Amino acid sequence: MKEVKVEVLGPEPPCMRCQAAKKVVEKVAEKLKQTEISVKVEKANVMSKDIVSKYGVLVSPAIAINGVVRFMGRVPSEAEVEKTIKEAVKKEA
Amino acid sequence: MKKLRTAVLLGFVFTVIGLLIYSRIMAYSLAPTMKPADFRGLAIWEIPIAYLIDYFSHGWICLLFAFVAAGLVYEFVPKEAITKYMGSGRVAGYGLALGMAPFLTVCSCTMVPLFGGVLFAGAGIGPAITFLLMAPAANILSILLTGELISWELAGVRIIVSIVVALTAGIIISKTPWGKAIEKEHQQTVPTGQKSIEIVKPPLDERLWSSLKFAAYLAKQILPFFLLGLVAVSYVQAYLPEDIVGTYLTGVTGVLIASVIGGPLYTPTLVEIVLGKGMYELGMSKGALLAWLMGQPYDVANALAVSRIAKWKVVLTYMLIAWAGSVIFGLMYGILSGSL
């Protein structure tokens, strides 16, 4: 079982497109459960100090996979997110 | 399959652009053509219906183009380059705040976070304020609609004035003690190199599709309010007597009144443009119209969101500067264009 951490970065209170992004990620996480990849989904405040000091200025919604921002300012499709997560797993291995 | 999808999407985009150019060549008016006098004979319930039909029979090309353009620009603007340079220095920060705010902020979703990001991570309070003021005043949707529905002269003036006011407010606030205090409290260094950002480049059809999806999202957000606004405008056109507009919305008083009511009445839904046009047709001066359109940066919802990060003193200062700017430039434009 491989573990991947996915952060959905958006403002607090959440905006609609960030919620849409989170839904996409959650669906992919559900799907990947069957393929031996466990995805830990977290929602982080794009304006909190630690997020800013980690990633700098971001356009929300942004999605970071294993501490690397891979999507920014848009809601990606499920296929894209799945592919990117799988790439991240391969990289770790 | 992928190629076909790309072709269909590109075809759609070019058709929309083509429609606008075609309407331009044929000198076909995209703005509603009914005059206040046309409404006088209609029953109460007929007024909004007649106005909406008139509006959409002309305005749909313009609206379609505006939303599609906003979606495309937002999708294709190189966001990661911007966010990288936003943090680099003061001058670059101001430049990017002015240059990029119009393209990135068609969605209120992005505005406050970016404001926070610029303030925390990089260029400081000055560029952050400049960005915040520039964004609603001159975003691509409102400029397109101002140009199409009212006049491109006014749209141009609106851009220039927004730049001047936003820059002035940013520079002034960065010099005030309370502005500096906020900056000190939040400023922090960001690790250099920024290895933590590696954006995935999606294929063209995916990008086109997502820009159209974003256009549809914007339309869904804005159009319901826009429709309600149009209904209100139709009644304004039908019932607001021309002499009241002529008395109160011209001259120096006109600019002052327009600048004051422009703020609280502002909703980020482009209604201010149609409402402004309605009143302009009833006799509001060009100066007052500009002041009215410029009134929005100190709208209440935005100020509330920002006051959570910056203290109320900063919010009050920028509201005051924005208001003064709308009065000063309203008067100047009124005098220069001979319509005060």
- For chain B, give the secondary structure using H, E and C: CHHHHHHHHHHHHHHHHHHHHHHHHCCCCCCCCCCHHHHCCCCCCHHHHHHHHHHHHHHHHHHHHHHHHHHHHHHHCCHHHHHHHHCCCHHHHHHHHHHHHHHHCCCHHHHHHHHHHHHHHCCCHHHHHHHHHHHHHCCHHHHHHHHHHHCHHHHHHHHHHHHHHHHHHHHHHHHCHHHHHHHHHHCCCCCCCCCCECCCCCCHHHHHHHHHHHHHHHHHHHHHHHHHHHHHHHHHHHHCCHHHHHHHCCHHHHHHHHHHHHCCCCCCCCHHHHHHHHHHHCCCCHHHHHHHHHCHHHCHHHHHHHHCCCCHHHHHHHHHHHHHHHHHHHHHHHHHCCCC
Interface residue ranges in chain B relative to chain A, Cβ cutoff 8 Å: 74-75, 79-80, 82-84, 86-87, 104, 107-110, 112-114, 116-118, 120-122, 188-191, 194-200, 202, 206, 210, 213-214, 217, 309
Q: Domain limits of chain B? A: 45-336
A67-80: per-residue pLDDT in tens?
A: 888 888 888 888 88
Q: Do A60 and B110 touch (CB under 8 A)?
A: yes
Chain B nearest C-alpha distance from A33 (Å)? 23
Chain B nearest C-alpha distance from A35 (Å)? 22
Confidence check: pLDDT of B290 > 60: yes
Residue of B nearest to A69 (CA): B197
Chain B nearest C-alpha distance from A29 (Å)? 19
A12-42: per-residue pLDDT in tens?
A: 777 788 888 999 999 999 988 888 888 889 8
**What is the C-alpha to C-alpha distance for residues A40 and B43, in angstroms, rounded to an integer?**
61
Task: Give the pLDDT confidence score for residue B256 in this predicted structure.
Answer: 87
Chain B nearest C-alpha distance from A7 (Å)? 13
Q: Do B118 and A57 touch (CB under 8 A)?
A: yes
Tokens (6 digits) for B247: 């008395």
B237-257: per-residue pLDDT in tens?
A: 888 888 888 888 888 888 888
Chain B nearest C-alpha distance from A91 (Å)? 14
Q: Do B199 and A68 touch (CB under 8 A)?
A: no
Is the bond into B32 cis (omega within 30 degrees of 0)? no
Number of CB atoms found within 10 A of residue A43's CB: 16
Confidence check: pLDDT of B309 > 60: yes
Q: Is the pTM of this model over 0.90?
A: no
Domains of chain A and CATH, by start: 2-92 (3.40.30.10)
Q: Do A58 and B194 touch (CB under 8 A)?
A: no
Confidence check: pLDDT of B282 > 80: yes
Residue of B nearest to A83 (CA): B200
Higher pLDDT, B106 or B203: B203
Task: Give the pLDDT confidence score for residue B144 in this predicted structure.
Answer: 87
Of A17, A58, A67, the CB nearest to B117: A58
Of A57, A60, A73, the CB nearest to B121: A57
B21-78: per-residue pLDDT in tens?
A: 887 777 666 666 677 777 777 778 888 888 888 888 777 888 888 889 888 888 888 7
